[in-house]
Amino acid sequence: METIHTTETGIGSAAPGKEVKNSSLRVDLNLLDSLMALAGELVLSRNQLVQSVSGKNFKAFETATQQIDRITTELQETIMSTRMQSIDTVFDTLPSLVKELSGSSSKSIDLSIEGNHVELDKTILESLGGPLATLVKFAVSFGIETKKIRKQSGKSETGQLSVCAFHEASQVNIELSHDGIGIDIEELTRLAVLQNLITKQQAEAMGVKDQAALLFTPGLVLTAGDDTFALDAVKLGLDKLGGTIEIDTNPRAGMLFNIKLPLTLAIIPSQIVSVGEEKYAIPQANLKELLRIPAGEVKNRIQTVGDAPVVRLRGDLLPLLDSAAVLNVQKTFIHPNDRKTHPDQRKNIADRRSKDLLKSDTVMKADMGSDRDKRKNTDDRRCRAASALNIAVVSAGEFRFGLVVSEFHDSEEIVVKPLGRHLMACRGFAGATLMGDGKVALILDVLELAQVADLKAFDDLVETRSDELEDSQDEKNTGDDTAILIFQNAETERFAVPLNLVDRIEMVDTGAIEEAAGKHVIQYRGRNLPLYGIEQVAKVGQRPKNDQTAVIVFKMDNREFGLLATPPVDSVETEVNLDQKTFKQPGIDGSTIINGHTTLMVNVPDLIRTVEPAWFDESTAA
Amino acid sequence: MEQNDQFNSVELSTFYLGDALCGIDILKVQEINKQMDCTRVPQAPDHVKGVLNLRGRILTVLDLGRKMGLSPFEYSVDSRNIITQSDGELIGLLVDRINNVIVAETDKIETPPSNISGIRGEFFNGVYKTENEIIGILNTEKALND
């Protein structure tokens, strides 16, 4: 059964109707002989197996099973090798192509081909011809100059075009290079902007590699004399084969295309994982490493950037994707008491105590008063081994992320089979395969999963947010944007404090606030936390009497104290243009406009100095 | 009257979906079995039950009744999986109960009414009446399209 649906991959005449082409295969006679021998062995072993079962002879049964195991493996390998064909079937067409192209122009080209013997799966080879021919045409028309120009620029009259194939790390590399003129990356970027494929800002933000890859942008048209080229089909064709292409270019000295292809598409080594109750296969080619975060470390290693969970891996932030959420599968876990599978209620990957990198040191906690949360606040809730996180670190194209799965199983060689037409709309699967128990497992398409989860935006988020984070931490208030915390006192008045002063935010029941010696305090972690309101110092409205009050906790000079606030409490990054005239008063620095609202900036040290002058006398005396 | 000529009669493999007795051309049926242990495919449409391993081939299994607007398939001892050939691929159809093979005379097949036991008429190519039953002949293209 064909595993790959080859579709039109090349452009123009380069790839005429490949789907019907070459439906017969030339097989080496020796190979066929060994296949015949294996088939014979298989029949013999089958007979042994049948006999051992009918005679209830366990020993013979074992031997037969072992033999069948060995024969199957050999048979599989041999049959696979019949599909392997040397790359010269594709390379052989190149000389005539080059001759034809150079004949019609005043160019002289010397084509050298290496690595004819390199073998590739038939399906890959069939789809390779189109992209390769397009690249050769492009190299000849666009790259190699006419004899005259070459002479003028001090090159030999004959241009060198070389194509070479070689094995490297279970991949086949094909390099196509010439010594003509290469693509000028700046020129290419300008062209892409001119053809409205990217914006100028995008172009400026790109690295050189990304800019070079613009060559394959759909819609980009290059012109060389009378010829026009669109190379997007090359990339598309290679993508379908699981291949990649890279460019190295020098505007004067030439250009190199490096194509990397997998050896075969039919059988791929994979890591088997389970998500919920079902098993899935992740191709090893996409898999970088497996990560298991012990339950106790979840709160330290898993953090969030906004709503998005990330894991710290050797200093990098790696975005996490919850496979159960992306696939919309009910998560399960095996309960340690009864060893049965139960649905997992956990919604978030990150522990609620995990740090949110956006909120620096602030840990948001809601409903601290309710019973349910008192239980959750006991320290080692996620202590069971079963609640460890299993993360498969995968990469595909430009994406690199961690895929959170329920469990890891073995790594297996799996046979890729296509999914039926009813399932074409399901994204994230490269096909299906059969497991040892006879059940079907789906193969995850890592690239598509990333796209389904809109990880691109997510990736940017991590980058920019972590930049911002660094800014806000390194530069404190000197940068243009300051991280500030916005809250209300009276419901009509908005206040703000710099986020870096805030230790944390708590929600407390108003009833739990006690009054002692003219001060408001709340019992917190076995200590008294003094609470103050802005209205004690500044002339502002009174707080409404709600059941719950937000307490913004500050730590200064080893003293902890809380500022009473009315929710919502929110953090923003914004430019603060302080108006120090209109609202300046004790405890208030002035006002600024945030999101269209006049917001009073609270000067926390000043406020405390006013209500508790004694603290500062002590600290200065000491 | 007894004409069993292959040109003007068609053999129908018949089965029940809920109360509706349906039939499909027996030449489109590869086999009928009890294999129903599917692997669910996330994001798949509701009427796709999952994928199944049939002797090394992977086939899509459809909840045929659901596709045609009936309530979701419920497993019972009578449930069967009808494996059909459609557009070069095998598709499993979950049905509630199978019935006899019936030879239908082509010229006695009538145009379908707008509704047969809860299934819209558009899913049928025609109806064939036996002495005590009405068989809806499935329009496989319509019923098995994605």
Q: What DSSP assignment string belongs to A346-383? A: ---SS-TTSPBGGGTT--B---TTSHHHHHHHSTTSS-
The predicted pLDDT at position A471 comes to 42
Shortest alpha-carbon distance between residue A541 and chain B (Å): 53
Distance between CA A64 and CA A57 in Å, rounded?
A: 11
pLDDT bin (cut points 50, 70, 90) of residue A42 is: very high
Shortest alpha-carbon distance between residue A386 and chain B (Å): 25
Which pLDDT tens digit goes with each residue over A59-80? 889 888 888 988 988 888 888 7
Distance between CA A488 and CA A494 in Å, rounded?
A: 5
The residue among A374 and A214 whose pLDDT is bigger is A214
Helix, strand, coil shares, percent, chain A, to 5: 35, 35, 30
pLDDT bin (cut points 50, 70, 90) of residue A367 is: very low
The residue among A20 and A290 whose pLDDT is bigger is A290
Asked if A425 lies within 8 A of B89 by C-beta distance, the reply is no
Which pLDDT tens digit goes with each residue over B66-88? 888 888 888 888 889 999 988 77
User: A332-359 as b/e, with b when 16 or more CB fall inside 10 Å?
Assistant: bbeeeeeeeeeebeeeebbbeebbbbbb
| Mean pLDDT lowest among A95-99, A399-403, A465-469, B21-25 | A465-469
Which pLDDT tens digit goes with each residue over A368-422? 334 444 444 444 444 455 567 888 988 776 677 888 888 888 888 888 888 888 8
On the question of pLDDT at A468 being above 70, the answer is no
Across A569-592, average pLDDT? 79
The predicted pLDDT at position A36 comes to 93
Q: Which of A3, A273, A327, A423 to mutate to test the interface with B (most CBs of B within 10 A)?
A: A423
The pTM (predicted TM-score) of the whole model is: 0.52
Shortest alpha-carbon distance between residue A407 and chain B (Å): 17
* Contacting residues of B for A414, CB less than 8 Å apart: none
Rg of chain B (C-alpha set): 15
Put simply, whether A327 touches B (Cβ < 8 Å) is yes
Complex ipTM, two decimals?
0.82
Query: What part of B 68-127 touches A (C-beta under 8 Å)?
Result: 87, 89, 91
Which stretches within A378-487 are classed as H helix? 446-452, 455-474
On the question of pLDDT at A8 being above 90, the answer is no
| Mean pLDDT lowest among A257-261, A379-383, B5-9 | A379-383
On the question of pLDDT at A153 being above 50, the answer is yes
Across A294-318, average pLDDT? 76
* Contacting residues of B for A75, CB less than 8 Å apart: none
Shortest alpha-carbon distance between residue B82 and chain A (Å): 16
The residue among A451 and A617 whose pLDDT is bigger is A451
The residue among B60 and A324 whose pLDDT is bigger is B60
Name the CA dihedral angle for B83, B86, B90, B94, rounded to a multiple of 10 degrees.
-40
Asked if B53 lies within 8 A of A1 by C-beta distance, the reply is no
